[in-house]
Amino acid sequence: MHVYAENNNLDTPLTGTKILLRIWHIKRKDEYGGEKMACRPIVKKYIRFLLGEISLSLSGTAEEKEQDALEILRFAVTDLLKMDPVKASKLLSLEDLELLGVKPLLKHISRPSGIDPDRDIRYFVHRAFPVQVPYDKGNQILVKYRRIMDSGKKDVRQRFSRGAFSGQNGVRDLSTLVLMLISNNIEYRDIADLYRIFSDTARMNTVFKTKWRIYDAVKVNYSTPLECLHHSLPAEHQDDFLYRFYQFCEVYRTFVS
């Protein structure tokens, strides 16, 4: 259990017992009864579920189910746990959400490829509190990438969700990952130097395979590392002349070898 109480000491764990005591407190004082509850039917239903009176299921369209799931998550964080959304995004665990009965509702909240509902709790808190908890997708991709690297898999595509690097959104995610890996691992003087480095197909393929472990993900989208670099760069940093020049050099080397 990793939830922490927002009041009193922020480093005091909010145990399962404390969560249950808060539910009992709600029932005893009728804290959420009357007019407030009448205008929030899904919250009323959630409270009755917590008190063991009914089972919890969502109805309506996919969009309505998503909105109800987000409303319940907001209530659980701010009203039931008395937590600041930013603290919740950092401290909530899957075990906490299971105890609160929220975990089964996460399936109704749409998410981009690569988001693991069992691990990326911050994303769902962001959806519930988009202003208070900004979501840096690039950082989340990097976090997941590092997690997969630590697992020892030969290629990260084996562990990202199916189709994670396919389609327009998937290619955009791959570009984000490639640019982060470049920033963290390659020293270069300028964009021209970066194009030169990526023009060495054999060397960069080895880097993709053995160091970055993104070879399979790159291969399904690009024919060469140079092409991957060029299309991953923001438009204002793409250099069409260098791209065509090093493409020509590659063809020439193949021709004379």
Residue 1 included in any domain: no
Residue 202 included in any domain: yes
Residue 70 pLDDT? 95
* Range from 14-18, 187-191, 211-215, 225-229 carrying the lowest mean pLDDT: 14-18
Residue 145 included in any domain: no
Question: Using an 8 Å Cβ cutoff, are 43 and 33 in contact?
Answer: no
Pull the structure tokens for residue 234.
């923001």
Q: How many domains does the chain have?
A: 2
d(CA 84, CA 6): 7
Looking at the fold, whether 129 and 155 belong to one and the same domain comes out as no
- Of 109, 135, 161, which one is at a domain's C-terminal end? 135
Looking at the fold, whether 222 and 192 belong to one and the same domain comes out as yes
Q: What's the Cα-to-Cα distance from 91 to each of 2, 81, 121, 149, rounded to whole Å?
A: 6, 12, 9, 23
Residue 206 included in any domain: yes
Looking at the fold, whether 160 and 224 belong to one and the same domain comes out as yes
- Which ranges of the chain does DSSP label H, i.e. alpha helix? 16-29, 34-38, 41-50, 62-74, 85-91, 94-99, 121-128, 137-151, 167-185, 191-198, 201-206, 215-219, 225-232, 240-256
Residue 6 included in any domain: no
- The residue written with tokens 């030969």 in the block is 154
Looking at the fold, whether 94 and 130 belong to one and the same domain comes out as yes
Looking at the fold, whether 187 and 112 belong to one and the same domain comes out as no
> Would you say the C-alpha torsion 168, 169, 173, 174 has a positive or negative sign?
negative
Residue 39 pLDDT? 47
Pull the structure tokens for residue 134.
């900004």
Asked if the model's pLDDT at residue 179 lies above 80, the reply is yes
- Of 78, 109, 135, which one is at a domain's C-terminal end? 135
User: Judging by beta carbons within 10 Å of its beta carbon (0-12, 13-18, 19+), is residue 52 exposed, middle or buried?
Assistant: exposed
Pull the structure tokens for residue 238.
């793409």
Looking at the fold, whether 194 and 123 belong to one and the same domain comes out as no
Q: What's the Cα-to-Cα distance from 23 to each of 29, 138, 173, 203, rounded to whole Å?
A: 10, 37, 41, 60
Looking at the fold, whether 176 and 223 belong to one and the same domain comes out as yes
Looking at the fold, whether 128 and 180 belong to one and the same domain comes out as no
Looking at the fold, whether 24 and 125 belong to one and the same domain comes out as yes
* Boundaries of domain holding 239: 151-256
- Of 135, 163, 186, which one is at a domain's C-terminal end? 135
On whether the pTM is more than 0.75, the answer is: no
Higher pLDDT: 229 or 10? It is 229
Looking at the fold, whether 155 and 235 belong to one and the same domain comes out as yes
Q: Give the pLDDT band (50/70/90) at residue 189.
A: very high
